[in-house]
């Protein structure tokens, strides 16, 4: 169970909302799960989308990155050169920390803005590294953590097919994430995604009804 749950979020209309943090290992099926909730009228806030938004061309966050690392981080179009940045921080813990100290507060601030504007009974905040210490402090915005769980062999198969990467590369990514055991240990809710889509959707419907009840709708 999570021990870092924050205060209930209040939107601009003064309505108290339940915020559910959605996470899971690579290839576990987070996108399928978040799409299902979105199709049922639930606001989705995706940390990966926010991470791209906050470093958009001309943004204050991008300017801070340039000031810290130099003009080389900008490509010819004035955008963040993501490949160069990834290569730079890959071999340097300090560089990664410097980058995160700039981007993570911006991601968290944007997430809070979207939570205040949300109009659904509850909100799903998707963050692949929600439970890892480096994930922008987003866990503190969540009252519950929902983990999408799959067998590791299935994760590798799905991620390899989706991203066109080798199984070895997927395994390296998994090695830098929480172990399946540790992720499940910190979950408030777990959805098993080792079966068919019909099975998954049935489980999500049950969770949906549970969250609606917790939000005071049912």
Residue 31, marked binder: yes
Residue 27, marked binder: yes
Are 78 and 57 contacting, i.e. CB atoms less than 8 angstroms apart? yes
Are 207 and 113 contacting, i.e. CB atoms less than 8 angstroms apart? no
Q: How far apart are CA 135 and CA 100, in angstroms?
A: 9
Residue 32, marked binder: yes
Residue 6, marked binder: no
Q: Could you identify the residue written with the tokens 């969540």?
A: 142
Residue 29, marked binder: yes
Which residues, including other chains, have CB under 8 Å from residue 108's CB and lie 6 or more apart?
136, 137, 138, 141
Q: Could you identify the residue written with the tokens 């419907």?
A: 205
Bridge partners of 147, per DSSP, are 23, 190
Bridge partners of 44, per DSSP, are 124
Residue 30, marked binder: yes
First-last CA distance in the chain: 24
What residue numbers does the annotated binding site cover?
27-32
Binding-site residues for ATP, please?
27-32
């Amino acid at each position: 169970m999570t021990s870092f749950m924050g205060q209930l979020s209040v939107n601009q209309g003064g309505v108290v909302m339940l915020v559910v943090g959605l996470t899971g290992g690579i290839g576990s099926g987070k996108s399928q799960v978040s799409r299902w909730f979105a199709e049922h009228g639930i606001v989705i806030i995706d940390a990966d989308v926010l991470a791209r938004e906050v470093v958009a061309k001309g943004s204050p966050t991008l300017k801070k990155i340039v000031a810290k690392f130099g003009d080389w981080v900008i490509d010819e179009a004035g955008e963040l050169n993501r490949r160069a940045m990834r290569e730079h921080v890959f071999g340097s813990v300090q560089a990664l920390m410097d980058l995160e100290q700039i981007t993570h507060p911006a991601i968290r601030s944007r997430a809070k803005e979207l939570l205040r504007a949300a109009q659904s009974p509850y909100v799903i905040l998707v963050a692949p590294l929600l439970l890892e210490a480096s994930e922008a402090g987003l866990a503190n915005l969540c009252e519950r953590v929902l983990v999408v769980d799959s067998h590791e062999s299935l994760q590798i198969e799905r991620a390899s097919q989706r991203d066109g990467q080798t199984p070895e590369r997927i395994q390296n990514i998994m090695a830098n994430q929480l172990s399946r055991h540790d992720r499940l240990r910190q979950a408030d809710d777990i959805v098993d995604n080792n079966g068919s889509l019909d099975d998954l959707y049935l489980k999500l419907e049950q969770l949906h009804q549970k969250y609606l009840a917790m939000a005071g709708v049912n």
